[in-house]
Amino acid sequence: MADDSTLYTCNSIESAQSLLESALIIGQSPALIIFDHADHATDKNLAFSKELHNAIPESWIIEIIPDDMPLPEDSGDDNTFWIRRPVSEEEWNATLESVLHKNGCPQWAKWTGNKTYRGF
């Protein structure tokens, strides 16, 4: 898990891209990204989501999606977390437990998925 505990909140994809670029330029990938699609996922949101997953594989990404949104076809990745609205406390806690305690980063999750070793 990253040593940096900085928290950024963004109200647009453009500001999120700018903050992420700044962090990546200095070599500090975020440990966790939470992306809320709000009431409906737009094509722009979906494209940004795909870009995040492809560009920063070392970061956990949790996406909060509307209840009626179908999951993307490529959503079967074990390192992708999709949580439907309304978010239940139980599901949120289970997701954070998996991300923050069981595995330090998606690469560890892939490695530990095939081994008996779990966590750090």
pLDDT of res. 75: 61
Residue ranges in the chain assigned as alpha helix (H) = 13-25, 43-55, 89-96, 106-113
- Cα separation, 10 vs 80, whole angstroms: 21
pLDDT average, residue stretch 97-112: 66
pLDDT of res. 113: 47
Q: pLDDT, tens digit, for every residue of 1-53?
A: 455 567 778 888 999 999 889 888 888 888 888 999 888 888 898 899 888 88
pLDDT of residue 120 exceeding 70 = no
pLDDT band at 101 (very low <50, low <70, confident <90, very high): confident
